[in-house]
Amino acid sequence: MTTYVFDFAEGNKDQKDLLGGKGANLAEMTNLGLPVPPGFTITTEACKAYLSTGSAPDELAGQVCEHLAALEKAMGKKLGDPTDPLLVSVRSGAKFSMPGMMETVLNVGLNDESVQGLARQADNERFAQDSYRRLLQMFGKTVLDIDGELFESAIEDAKSAKGVQADVDLDADDLRGLVEKFKQIIHDQTGRDFPQDPREQMDLATYAVFQSWNSPRAILYRRQERIPADLGTAVNIVAMVFGNLGADSGTGVAFTRDPSTGMRGIYGDYLQNAQGEDVVAGVRNTVPLADLEKIDKKSYDQLLEIMSTLENHYQDLCDIEFTIERGNLWMLQTRVGKRTAAAAFRIATALIDEGLIDRDEALRRVTGDQLAQLMFPRFGDRSDGKKLTKGMNASPGAAVGKVVFDSPTAVRMAHDGEKVILVRRETNPDDLNGMIAAEGILTSRGGKTSHAAVVARGMGKTCVCGAEELDVDTKGKKLTAPDGTVVSEGDVISIDGSTGDVFLGEVAVTDSPVVEYFEGTLKEEDDLVQAVDKIITHADGVRRLGIRTNADNGEDAARARRFGATGIGLCRTEHMFLGERRQHVERLILADGKEEREAALAELLPLQRGDFVEIFEAMDGLPVTVRLLDPPLHEFLPDLTDLSVRVAIAEEQGKSNEKDRKLLDAVRRLHEQNPMLGLRGVRLGIVIPGLFAMQVRAIAEAAAERRKAGGDPHAEIMIPLVGAVQELELIRDETEKVLATVAEEQSVELDMSIGTMIELPRAALTAGQIAGAADFFSFGTNDLTQTAWGFSRDDVEAAFFARYLEGGIFGVSPFESLDVEGVGRLVRIATEEGRAARPDLKLGICGEHGGDPASVHFFHEVGLDYVSCSPFRVPVARLEGGRAAVL
């Protein structure tokens, strides 16, 4: 028999798969002896069974009965008892926190009778009616699927009938009226009455929580956060404690450190006489947690002590939910809290300094994505923008975009390529789409723990929240600043998530301090840079993977070197044939016979040589892998249609021009249906005599020149798009001859390795043979992905990837993160068979995946020698290479 239900005392924090994060941590706190209301957890297994069969597993009801009986015994009350009811909350809780995505129902067990009992026991009629209307509201919304607006507007009506602003101004009679109203809404909307049976309430709420796993917004959130879709949620049944019993009660949230900066301090919000979400929903203004000291010193001191217990126990920043019931403190939730990228680095190093964790652990706790965020530009000179106001710095970054006031518009405009800032009074889970689409989020209400702030931090998106001076009119699609400036939909604003500043107009951006640190131009070291330095230095120390860069010119090469690259893994040569040099390529293609062809190549030679000299100098002492010409030649020629028109017009006017006509012939001849699969790569080298030889000569002469100038060049020659070893052998022969000739001419030693890209499935599958002619392999994972999947990136990405992502065919584009199962398998085969044939074979990768964290981990695991990525991703790859070694 499967056990589907566990008491809090039976679990611990490492059982998140089975108990969900909330359940596992409630169990952990219970076992730490902290004041957690008793309860039990229904496992994710039960949820999965429910979702796959449509009903709860047979054993569940009985197991819940047993645990409920134990809970009733512990509390000395029975669920929904008419004279003294036990009430419970039914709370969702998945393995990974999904803030606000799924459902919770509070005060389960209240009905027309037990509400009386509750009132008598608490000696507080208002409280009992308030609790009941909350149950009706939450149950109606989440279990019965009734539009929440109906309840909200009934509350608004009650408040305005009475002429009051806040929910706390409604008295017992008003609330009793609302209870009747809510029951009527439920009856009208569902055709049946609110279920009075407490156990039925509990079971229905449980199933609703199960189902909320598959709500559209939960699905969207998981896709965004790359959370697997098959985990399911647990359900926690927790004895209620009441923060809405009066001024000596309340509810709050707290962080053991500032989640946006990582600094120690007292961070959180508290709200008197309130229950559950009130504190984050912005129903009334909260007070800063520090004010609790004045309100209830005993609970405050106890809370601080618990917070320090939790930090020491979890050895990390924790976030906490608590409730105070008539002076008694209760812990309702904790978890290792989400944090900004800067906070992640600061906290990790602070914990090293405090002796709580070691360097390896610190490295595990930061990610390459976080480092990439710290390298985003920030606002520099702010004088371009007019400052409108300042809100709270909820999630850092510098975002510029057109103002939109609703999520559908944000999505639509972003889809059309516009940058937008989503402006709301406050956000709710239905805004997720818009938040994903926006560059940044601005709200006029809510603190650092509001929905907008929490979700934006989780996504690494810029957010300014609680900009209370702004009058946001979402219906009228405008906002009004304190000085009277009106900003309408489509106007550009700039928001600074690090300071909370909001500007009208576009503010220019500059390098972040972390980029200045890598560049070596930082004037004043700040603690964030020190944290980054400490962790990346450790990553370099433990890393096995080498990090190279993709660079085609001296400037990029030099920058990548400053950023920590130890060589070039891919130096493309096609850029070197563009611009003015196009004419030489044209001449090469149009050449009539050997003489003309050689003349054209001779003109290209010195230009190429100059390029290489510059690059070898920037990478002096480090390897530089030069890839011979790869793209189809027609990329260097005029467009077929343009040229046809030009020639036709010229002929019409009797001014026909011999060169253009020849060119048109060539363009027609070279035109291909599928250029990606056409005459390119090694095929060019074989078909166009002298082309690769010229490039090799340029490389060799450049190396000789550098050597004579006292330099230390290390060129490696790489042949693209090889599918068969015979292709490589032909080019290799030619290459070796040229190298020998130049070495003799220049009287220098030139020992250059010659290798190939592995970017065709056939190459991967015959890697054992190819290794016979290659000193190294470099996986071209962009082309390998295209050829393995059989789609050309430029054609398909915009056309249908959105559908594929929606349909779950892949969770993330295979061009962004390596498709480990398919393309990765090819990489693995080629690695194993290549090395078996030739143990000293050097292996690297130079596709865009070289800078993608998940892919870097795969390349580490497969045993490659290095990854190569764009200069700006080099620090990310260094960090992730180190993390791969310690994870």
Nearer to ligand ADP, 100 or 397 (CB): 100
Q: Interacting stretch for Mg ion, rule CB under 5 A, among 292-300, 303-311, 379-387, 772-780?
A: 772-780
Cβ–Cβ under 8 Å, residues 498 and 393 = yes
Task: Using CB under 6 A, pick the residue from 238, 568, 619, 628 that binds ligand ADP.
Answer: 238
Structural tokens at position 153: 């507007």
Distances (CA, A) of 837 to 105, 827, 841, 844: 63, 15, 9, 17
| Shortest spacing between CB 684 and Mg ion, in angstroms | 13
Task: Using CB under 6 A, pick the residue from 43, 114, 323, 786 that binds ligand ADP.
Answer: 323
Distance CA 453, CA 463 (A): 6
- Exposed, middle or buried: residue 150 (CB in 10 Å: 0-12, 13-18, 19+)? middle
Mention every residue, 6+ apart, whose C-beta is less than 8 A from residue 654: none
Smallest CA-to-CA distance from 443 within 392, 382, 379, 409 is with 392
What is the three-class DSSP state of 80? coil
Task: By CB under 6 A, tell whether 85 contacts ligand ADP.
Answer: no
702 binds, among ligand ADP, Mg ion, none (CB under 5 to 8 A by kind): none
Strand order in the sheet with 88-94: 5-7, 39-42, 233-239, 88-94, 104-108
Smallest CA-to-CA distance from 362 within 111, 536, 570 is with 536
104 binds, among Mg ion, ligand ADP, none (CB under 5 to 8 A by kind): ligand ADP
What is the three-class DSSP state of 595? helix
Residue in 451, 584, 849, 857 annotated catalytic: 451
List residues bridging with 264 in a β-sheet. 257
Backbone Cα Rg of the chain: 33
Q: Interacting stretch for ligand ADP, rule CB under 6 A, among 182-190, 238-246, 525-533, 828-836?
A: 238-246
Task: By CB under 5 A, tell whether 439 contacts Mg ion.
Answer: no
Task: By CB under 6 A, tell whether 277 contacts ligand ADP.
Answer: yes
447 binds, among ligand ADP, Mg ion, none (CB under 5 to 8 A by kind): none
Nearer to Mg ion, 104 or 249 (CB): 104
Distance CA 474, CA 442 (A): 12
What is the three-class DSSP state of 8? helix
Residues 292-331, mask of contacts with Mg ion (x by CB under 5 A) = -----------------------------x----------
Task: By CB under 6 A, tell whether 158 contacts ligand ADP.
Answer: no
Strand order in the sheet with 462-465: 386-390, 501-504, 492-496, 398-404, 420-424, 440-443, 462-465, 392-395
Task: Using CB under 6 A, pick the residue from 333, 494, 735, 870 that binds ligand ADP.
Answer: 333
Task: By CB under 6 A, tell whether 240 contacts ligand ADP.
Answer: yes
842-845 vs 776-779, strand pairing mode: parallel
624 binds, among Mg ion, ligand ADP, none (CB under 5 to 8 A by kind): none
Task: By CB under 5 A, tell whether 333 contacts Mg ion.
Answer: yes
The alpha carbon dihedral of 132, 135, 137, 139 has a sign of negative
Nearer to ligand ADP, 236 or 549 (CB): 236
Count, residues in the chain: 887
Task: By CB under 6 A, tell whether 106 contacts ligand ADP.
Answer: yes
Distance CA 359, CA 241 (A): 41
Cβ–Cβ under 8 Å, residues 445 and 464 = no
Residue 846 falls in the annotated catalytic set = yes
What is the three-class DSSP state of 312? helix
Q: List, in sequence order, every beta strand (DSSP E) within 686-766.
A: 714-719, 753-758
Task: Using CB under 5 A, pick the residue from 783, 819, 848, 880 that binds Mg ion.
Answer: 783
Task: By CB under 6 A, tell whether 306 contacts ligand ADP.
Answer: no
Task: By CB under 6 A, tell whether 336 contacts ligand ADP.
Answer: no
Match 């602003």 to its residue by tokens. Answer: 165
Task: By CB under 6 A, tell whether 272 contacts ligand ADP.
Answer: no
Task: By CB under 6 A, tell whether 452 contacts ligand ADP.
Answer: no
Residue in 318, 465, 846, 869 annotated catalytic: 846
Cβ–Cβ under 8 Å, residues 254 and 303 = yes
Nearer to Mg ion, 235 or 421 (CB): 235
| Shortest spacing between CB 277 and ligand ADP, in angstroms | 5
Distance CA 162, CA 419 (A): 44
Task: By CB under 6 A, tell whether 34 contacts ligand ADP.
Answer: no
Task: By CB under 5 A, tell whether 723 contacts Mg ion.
Answer: no
Cβ–Cβ under 8 Å, residues 39 and 71 = yes
| Shortest spacing between CB 393 and ligand ADP, in angstroms | 23
| Shortest spacing between CB 874 and ligand ADP, in angstroms | 39
Q: What is the DSSP string of 643-688?
A: HHHHHHHHHHTT---HHHHHHHHHHHHH--S-GGGSS-THHHHHHS
Q: What torsion, rounded to 10 degrees, do the Cα atoms 809, 814, 817, 821 define?
A: 70
Residue 634 falls in the annotated catalytic set = no
Interface with ligand ADP: number of residues (CB under 6 A): 16
568-571 vs 623-627, strand pairing mode: parallel
| Shortest spacing between CB 284 and ligand ADP, in angstroms | 14
Structural tokens at position 698: 């340029």
Task: By CB under 6 A, tell whether 198 contacts ligand ADP.
Answer: no
Return the residues of window 632-671 that contact Mg ion according to CB under 5 A: none
Distance CA 320, CA 115 (A): 30
Task: Using CB under 5 A, pick the residue from 258, 316, 727, 759 that binds Mg ion.
Answer: 759
Nearer to ligand ADP, 286 or 393 (CB): 286
DSSP letter at 194?
A: P
Nearer to Mg ion, 280 or 351 (CB): 280
Nearer to ligand ADP, 129 or 251 (CB): 251
Task: By CB under 5 A, tell whether 427 contacts Mg ion.
Answer: no
Task: Using CB under 6 A, pick the residue from 11, 20, 38, 100 that binds ligand ADP.
Answer: 100
CA 385 to chain centre: 29
Task: By CB under 6 A, tell whether 20 contacts ligand ADP.
Answer: no
276 binds, among Mg ion, ligand ADP, none (CB under 5 to 8 A by kind): ligand ADP
Mention every residue, 6+ apart, whose C-beta is less than 8 A from residue 121: 83, 84
Distance CA 765, CA 829 (A): 7
91 binds, among ligand ADP, Mg ion, none (CB under 5 to 8 A by kind): ligand ADP
Nearer to Mg ion, 94 or 622 (CB): 94
Structural tokens at position 711: 């330099």
Nearer to ligand ADP, 106 or 757 (CB): 106
Q: Where are the alpha helices (DSSP H) in 401-478?
A: 407-415, 432-437, 451-459
Task: By CB under 6 A, tell whether 761 contacts ligand ADP.
Answer: no
Smallest CA-to-CA distance from 103 within 91, 88, 116, 94 is with 91
| Shortest spacing between CB 758 and Mg ion, in angstroms | 10
Task: By CB under 6 A, tell whether 89 contacts ligand ADP.
Answer: yes
Structural tokens at position 734: 């030619």
Task: By CB under 6 A, tell whether 218 contacts ligand ADP.
Answer: no
Task: By CB under 6 A, tell whether 37 contacts ligand ADP.
Answer: yes
| Shortest spacing between CB 333 and ligand ADP, in angstroms | 5
Nearer to ligand ADP, 333 or 550 (CB): 333
Task: By CB under 6 A, tell whether 91 contacts ligand ADP.
Answer: yes
Task: By CB under 6 A, tell whether 276 contacts ligand ADP.
Answer: yes
Match 């169990």 to its residue by tokens. Answer: 27
Return the residues of window 829-848 that contact Mg ion according to CB under 5 A: none
Nearer to ligand ADP, 234 or 719 (CB): 234
Task: Using CB under 6 A, pick the residue from 289, 332, 432, 629 that binds ligand ADP.
Answer: 332
Contact footprint for Mg ion (CB under 5 A): 321, 333, 759, 780, 783
Residues marked active site are found at: 451, 846
Contact footprint for ligand ADP (CB under 6 A): 37, 89, 91, 100, 104, 106, 238-241, 276-277, 321, 323, 332-333
